[in-house]
Amino acid sequence: MHRLVLVTLTLTLGLRAGTPLADEPVTLTPWIVEEPAFRPNLDAPRASAVLERDAWSGRAVGTLADAIARVPGVIMLESHGGFEPPRLSLRGSGLQSAPVSRGVTLLLDGLPLGLADGSFNIALFDPQLGATIAVQRGLDAWRASPAALGGAFDLQSARTADTTVRAEAGSFGVWRGRVSSSFVPAAGWFAGTALSYSRQTGHRPLSSQERTALHASLRRTIAGGEAAFTLYHARPKYEVPGPLTYAVATTAPRTNNSDVLRDRPSRESEFWRAAATYTARTTEREFDAGASLARTDDRFQQLQANGYSLSRSDDAAARLSFAQRFTAGGLRQQARLTVYATRGWRDLRRFRNDSAAIGPLFGRDGLYATTVALALEDSIALTRTLSATLAVARVGARRDIVDRLTAPRTTQDLGYGNTTPQIAVRWTPATDLALFAGVSRGVEQPTFDDLLIIAGAYPNLARRSQALRAQRATTWEAGARGQRAALGWDVTLYRADWTDEILRLADARGAALGAVNANPTRHEGLEASARWRLLDGPDRLTFNTTAVWSHFHFTGDPVYGRNRLAGVPPFVGSAELLYENRRGCFAALGADRTAGRLAVDHGGRMTYTGRTLAHARLGWRQGHAWTVFLDVRNLLDRDYIASTAGVLDLVRNPAATSIFIPGPRRNLTLGLEWKR
């Protein structure tokens, strides 16, 4: 098959005995795979992977893919470049929903950064403002993300005192900067702040971007625990170059179609979130509580087919978790109770886009979202090396839509209630090896972007709402994590049977057709990552690789049969070989690959091929203080299709279908870092 696939399988399966680990996270640079050893502790399952801020040292971080694509299990298709929302997914959940995303939960210190209905604008998320990102999927994501089927990305505040300054400049008018400082102002106190700024002109006309973001935290030791207050602010502004036909995307990828030149789509958002948390932990119990308030203002100028929207949302969230360890029946156990709730109030107005000018108002809605989850969990140490976890949650939600433009006002009230059980076993025959298996039931309610549809053709646009069922999935998974000598690995195999999966469709011109509940579908795949230290000592040589094989398909649809779901690549992977010498010099050569035929429509009438992009970087470090680097992306200067603007139900005229988004050609970034 592909060389990258063979290398990953070789690294994953070719294990040899080595030095055992202590009961600590397994370090897989540039990520950390964390696994509780239950020897004899009963800590709950932790993040599937933790990406530390140092993982970005010596490399350009211009897109979310640059920041987290090497974390195992992440499927990401770039959009227009920079921070403009990519199509992001864990295990296929939400992959079709950009530019307004769902399917995973964005968190900051355990509390949401998105809206209460489960949607979010990922352009508001700057991963470099935190000290780490915990990426949770599958069984490990169940507690942090009870109402999303994909998992969670948790940006976590700094816990150690340091100061970092970082600056980057590069192709396509790129300028990026970040300053962060964490310090102890007085005994018992800890403070941290981070500020970032980025802008670029873009690799296509009408693709400029600019974003400022701020994250500040203040912590205080109180009554044997820690109280914290955090503030997060982000303000992105970006243009949206439109999709192209396949012929134009491959022969003239730096152009824009006439609709984009006329309507000039763009988006500007502002997000504020304040949160307070309290955490206390002893050897026998844990207590975590937190609450947050957020405001989002959003202006989204789309093509004429979708119009111009103005939105303001206020969202509140609360989370409470209590765990107690005890012995019963001669078995050591840990019981946990978790309560999670979100509530959102949103005013959404829709106008016509009259050739880049705001036209008449054609829709105004009051949107009210409530989600509540109550979970009970018990972890039992059956032996010194074998443990089991039994859990059940009740998830309830409401999605209320008030049409404020009609007289009298009309209201659509949708209620959802689901019970989601889980059972898992973990076996740690050695301190450097953990095997796990389990089955879980998950649920995800529709967002307002699923429930509201733009109907009619310009200039006679109208909004209408529809009722959708919550999507549900039963997932079986098994895997292994660990490290032997110079080799570390993380491998998970899963299969999920979905009911009422929410698929979002567009017509041949990119206009949204809305979301539908599909007939039964199945998501199955293999997630693998490995790190191999080939040479250790003053000079080091390290090989890092990730791979995700996915097979998402209908299971006997009357129209689509067993076709693959559109928009999902069969394979996504990356590999990098990094050399570091004793004098502080380093050089790396790597590649990202998307392989297989990617379907544009569920009917399978139109597909496009994947691509392999080579990358290189080199630099020099002076101790732990200074780093200078040059990062070259798309080293061979290839034209390629980055992704598509949504998916279609059935392509009727392939040659005239404008849905393809071209990726950037070769680009260089020069960076400078200083740490203290």
| Cβ neighbour number for residue 367 with a 10 Å cutoff | 24
**Core vs surface per residue 580-600: b (16+ CB within 10 A) or e:** beeeeebebebbbbbbbebbb
Q: How confident is the model at residue 509 (pLDDT cuts 50, 70, 90)?
A: low
Does 585 have pLDDT greater than 70? yes
pLDDT at 94: 81
Which of 400, 412, 474 has its CA nearest to residue 438?
Answer: 474
pLDDT at 507: 59
- Per-residue model confidence as pLDDT tens digits over 93-151: 887 776 778 889 999 999 999 999 999 988 998 888 888 888 888 887 878 888 899 98
Which of 214, 209, 216 has its CA nearest to residue 174?
Answer: 209
The Cα 518–Cα 521 span in angstroms is 7
- Per-residue model confidence as pLDDT tens digits over 269-310: 999 999 999 999 998 999 999 999 999 999 999 999 889 999
- Per-residue model confidence as pLDDT tens digits over 428-449: 898 888 899 999 999 999 999 9
pLDDT at 223: 84
pLDDT at 224: 86
pLDDT at 221: 93
DSSP annotation string for 13-74: H-----PPP-SSPEEETTEEE-----SS--PPP--SEEEEGGGGTTS---SHHHHHTTSTTE
- Per-residue model confidence as pLDDT tens digits over 607-630: 999 999 999 999 999 988 999 999
- Which of the four CATH numbers 2.40.170.20, 3.20.20.60, 3.40.50.720, 2.60.120.650 does domain 3-675 have? 2.40.170.20
- Per-residue model confidence as pLDDT tens digits over 346-394: 999 999 999 999 999 999 999 999 999 999 999 999 998 999 999 999 9
- Per-residue model confidence as pLDDT tens digits over 658-671: 899 999 999 999 99
- Per-residue model confidence as pLDDT tens digits over 406-417: 878 888 899 999
4: left (phi over 0), alpha (psi -120 to 50) or beta: alpha
Q: Say if residues 304 and 259 touch (Cβ distance below 8 Å).
A: yes
Average pLDDT over residues 480-498: 91
Domain ranges of the chain: 3-675
Helix (H) or strand (E) run with residue 450 in it:
helix 448-451
Name the percent of the chain lying above pLDDT 70: 92
Q: How confident is the model at residue 51 (pLDDT cuts 50, 70, 90)?
A: confident
Q: What is the mean pLDDT of the chain?
A: 87
Name the percent of the chain lying above pLDDT 90: 63
The Cα 253–Cα 256 span in angstroms is 8
The Cα 260–Cα 438 span in angstroms is 48
Beta bridge partner(s), residue 627: 621, 673
